Amino acid sequence: MSERGLLIVFSGPSGVGKGTVRQEIFSTPDHKFEYSVSMTTRPQRPGEVDGVDYFFRTREEFEELIKKGQMLEYAEYVGNYYGTPLTYVNETLDKGIDVFLEIEVQGALQVKNKVPDGVFIFLTPPDLAELQERLVGRGTDSQEVIAQRIEKAKEEISLMREYDYAVVNDFVPLAAERVKRIIETEHFRVERVIGRYDKMIKETKVVR
């Protein structure tokens, strides 16, 4: 059996640009990990495709999956559920393929409890004023929702200490490059490869 893939958790405050950096990361062919499409109960935005951007579901459907234990993590965020379906993640990791989650902070902390050997990457805004500008510029949320998101961002930034890496989103291509390098380097950690070498040491017969 191949070694299990790495679970990569890419997170950070709302509006910091997680989605944009994630798209940049996946826009080039030089990555070997797969994106786990999240499920949400929030309304579909123009241009979004069901099954590509999110699996758009009703609250009833979502709650049913929670009850059945089929979510790796989920959070209620600004009035809607967001979560990671468990089966896809497990099946992909079992094939030895890394899985990339882009999720908000509460969900990331749940994953940390369940999968402590995941790679936890926190995307930070250069500063909060810029974050606010970006949310307004995106034009997808009302003033009230933006205010809620900024409040939440303040709380979330202090949770950075729970993560392994902090990446500043000062320039999208650069942030994407940093994330890719982190993932690549994680594969070289001794604790991740030692099993393979222990097996080799045990199985290799010395030829005399």
Which parts of this chain interact with ligand 5GP (CB under 6 A)?
A: 14, 18, 38, 42, 73, 75, 77, 82-84, 102-104, 107
Q: Round to whole Å and give the CA distance between 3 and 36.
A: 19
CA separation for the pair 163, 127 (Å, rounded): 19
Residue 117 makes CB contacts below 8 A (sequence gap 6+) with 7, 191
In the complex, minimum distance from the CB of residue 83 to ligand 5GP, in angstroms, rounded to a whole number? 5
CB of 104 to ligand 5GP, least distance (A): 4
Q: What is the largest CA-CA distance in the chain?
A: 76
> For ligand 5GP, which is the closer residue by CB, 6 or 74?
74
The CB-of-55 to ligand 5GP minimum distance in angstroms stands at: 10
Phi-psi region of 17 (alpha: psi -120 to 50; beta: other; left: phi over 0): left
Residue 112 CA to residue 11 CA, distance in Å, equals 12
Whose Cβ is closer to ligand 5GP: residue 108's or residue 183's?
108
Residue with the closest Cβ to ligand 5GP? 107
Nearer to ligand 5GP among residue 29 and residue 47 (C-beta): 47
Distance between CA atoms of residues 174 and 181, nearest Å: 11
Question: Which residues participate in the annotated binding site for ATP?
Answer: 12-19
Q: Residues 6 or more apart from 104 whose CB is under 8 A from it?
A: 11, 14, 75, 77, 82, 156
Shortest reach from residue 182's CB to ligand 5GP, in Å: 18
Of 104 and 186, the one with the shorter C-beta distance to ligand 5GP is: 104
